[in-house]
Structure 1
């Protein structure tokens, strides 16, 4: 159970500015106890007075807000195609966001060296002493050993060496900052919930549709962790008995075989090999070299064959979403990833199919959204993880 000081601090941080009267109404404590806590937090520079609120008949109340310079946080996303380093103040305002490609040269050692050099440059640019940095949150593609800070064996990385990587220890030794690890889908959901905090969503589902499928769930504002940290498990949801499978260790008929970047690439390669056609001739590459970027190019040229493939994949994703929604009944469903963000009709089709298959509809209907932070969600959520652990 959080301490009274932590509860008060978190409430002020989430609301922006708060009066003593609001805090007394929310928390069961005497006026003198709250006054003592607020004075203590002001003296510790955790919070500061930010002016006066409107009067309700007497003196105007003092408003309190968090001190943005009390501490700083780095959030590091490690993903398959790109990684992001974010730098945030204690109000979770992004002071810097930098992205780079994860190509063949980006070994674990190279990523740590690159991120460390950028952290140093960012602190120099903002004239912030390293002692003010609370820590580095890391959101990475799973599977993970979160307790030991290890990236276990993620798929589809261009660079070799991403097996049993003690990423937290490597970051700590290189930077001197404490580091903690969370899977990227969970971090993204934490970031998006923070961005939507004014709407107070407590039960949320996050699904990332890209090279693979990843998901996260939140209940009563807390991330749901299983006994294993396998964020790609949604991709193994069976939606067609005895259907195809994407990988040798995957389930037959799993969702990832129908609704992922890889599934679309394989579908296009297969159709071109079997049927050919005018549009296949325009591609000017052998079928085995058809990639997602080429399919997006065809979409922009209104290629009806490619549009149909995307529509079919989106329909399958919609069925997968409906299955998860019917099991969990979230208030808000956040969708992210390349398939969602690079083609609007994919998103519209997926949520349309999901809505039609949601049980109790229309009495119950979740809010669907692409999120507020989108590509910055993982880095933000990773930094927020350290913010929540900040000693108060």
Structure 2
């Protein structure tokens, strides 16, 4: 059953490098590969042979001629392998199946609530995987692997979700998620923080392609951050992803769940926005939202802000201004080429995104010497974490 993956593993470093170039280029000619690798044509032909032999690449057409015969274009053979990518977040879990071109074949998502324990979550995902393989008639040995982008902190090497906060269900403590999947399936399983898989997807295939320094921020229940500097993912000691959210912005500020005071997350997260809004209404402030206080959520507030509800607008601008100030500190320290802002708050509120960018640009110490670009939701939007989880699988095979 593992013959196809064994063929992939038989490739030497040079063949894998060429495959990597073709995957990232989409379609390329031998001359373009020669310019990148500095190989001789005979050497390139030798390393291309196993890629064609194992049906990993194929001739997909011809390129533009520079005077002679039109060159052959090589592309990845999309159905040579498939990969599952999983995004485990606090409010939902998503699973996708992609081909080798990272095109999504199918996608399922379910809500994470107090009933979705680790066991229930993995049971649901296992059922989806089995059904997908059956529905699309895909043998196990054509699954290159399964990647998981999850809320942290994690132990990447052991494949354990350690002690994340703010899950509605109990039991999310030291969950050996990698081994739990490996008990049910015979393909490799990889795990990383969701923000890291998202930034990887945008760096290799998305809006960060061709840039060495990019950052991804997911603004939701927490603030999750993935950073690539000089082409390398920056990792914290405990493989957490919430360090930015716990950057202290006001030493005398609100008490944070981490025990400190004045963290960015105290002001710029979904919970902070809802909490601040509720507190102001209790003080007697007027709002156009006609709901019981306990029923009001961040979507109500962001929608009301767009409709010129003065209290909602004030809350959103205040939260985004704090986030923008935090981004200034980040920019001054790491000087990224591009900052991708994503997540539920960004998706729901143009005002939140625009205010973040305005504040960050106006206060950027390096603004006269460095151009930082902002992007809303990246190339992959809400699919970034799961697509990045699939990209992580390919990266592992190509790097070993």
TM-score range, shorter chain: over 0.9
Q: Which structure 2 segments of 5+ residues have no match?
A: 1-11
Q: Which structure 1 segments of 5+ residues have no match?
A: none
Secondary structure of residue in 2 paired with 1:368 = strand
Cα distance change of structure 1 residues 33 and 261 upon mapping to structure 2, 3 Å threshold: same
2:225 aligned with 1:215, yes or no? yes
1:327 alignment partner in structure 2: 333
- Check conservation: 2:146, 2:390, Cα contact below 8 A: yes
1:34 alignment partner in structure 2: 44
Displacement, 1:297? 4.9
Cα distance change of structure 1 residues 265 and 33 upon mapping to structure 2, 3 Å threshold: same
Cα deviations across residues 35-93 of structure 1 (Å, max 9, x unaligned)? Answer: 11112221121211223223323332222111112111000011110111011111111
Displacement, 1:4? 1.5
- Check conservation: 2:145, 2:187, Cα contact below 8 A: yes
Cα deviations across residues 248-278 of structure 1 (Å, max 9, x unaligned)? Answer: x3321111111111111221222222x2144
Displacement, 1:96? 1.1
Displacement, 1:99? 1.1
2:280 aligned with 1:271, yes or no? yes
Cα distance change of structure 1 residues 305 and 104 upon mapping to structure 2, 3 Å threshold: same
Secondary structure of residue in 2 paired with 1:218 = strand
Secondary structure of residue in 2 paired with 1:22 = helix
Distance 1:216 1:279 in 2: 36
206-215 or 119-128: bigger deviation: 119-128
Distance 1:378 1:176 in 2: 23
2:255 alignment partner in structure 1: 245
Distance 2:394 2:240 in 1: 24
1:143 alignment partner in structure 2: 153
Distance 1:162 1:71 in 2: 32
Distance 1:49 1:38 in 2: 11
Cα deviations across residues 1-37 of structure 1 (Å, max 9, x unaligned)? Answer: x921121111111111111111122212222111111
Distance 1:209 1:198 in 2: 19
What's the TM-score, normalizing by structure 1? 0.94
Alignment of 1:65-144 (within 5 A): 65-144=75-154
What's the TM-score, normalizing by structure 2? 0.92
- Check conservation: 1:246, 1:263, Cα contact below 8 A: no
2:372 aligned with 1:366, yes or no? yes
Cα deviations across residues 297-327 of structure 1 (Å, max 9, x unaligned)? Answer: 5335532011101101110100001110110
Pick one of 167, 175, 180 that aligns with 2:185.
Answer: 175
- Check conservation: 2:302, 2:316, Cα contact below 8 A: no
Runs of 4+ in 1 over 6 A off after TM superposition: none
Pick one of 297, 303, 322 that aligns with 2:309.
Answer: 303
2:351 aligned with 1:351, yes or no? no
Cα distance change of structure 1 residues 92 and 261 upon mapping to structure 2, 3 Å threshold: same
Cα deviations across residues 121-140 of structure 1 (Å, max 9, x unaligned)? Answer: 22222221121001110000
Cα deviations across residues 126-160 of structure 1 (Å, max 9, x unaligned)? Answer: 22112100111000001111111000111111111
Cα deviations across residues 269-291 of structure 1 (Å, max 9, x unaligned)? Answer: 22222x214438x64425x6643
Cα distance change of structure 1 residues 362 and 142 upon mapping to structure 2, 3 Å threshold: same
Cα distance change of structure 1 residues 180 and 368 upon mapping to structure 2, 3 Å threshold: same
**Paired residues, what number?**
387
Secondary structure of residue in 1 paired with 2:237 = coil
Cα distance change of structure 1 residues 63 and 103 upon mapping to structure 2, 3 Å threshold: same
Distance 1:289 1:19 in 2: 58
300-309 or 377-386: bigger deviation: 300-309
Distance 1:372 1:322 in 2: 23
- Check conservation: 1:268, 1:290, Cα contact below 8 A: no
1:7 alignment partner in structure 2: 17
Distance 1:300 1:356 in 2: 23
Distance 2:208 2:181 in 1: 34
Pick one of 285, 290, 296 that aligns with 2:292.
Answer: 285
Distance 1:316 1:125 in 2: 48
Distance 1:30 1:215 in 2: 42
1:381 alignment partner in structure 2: 388
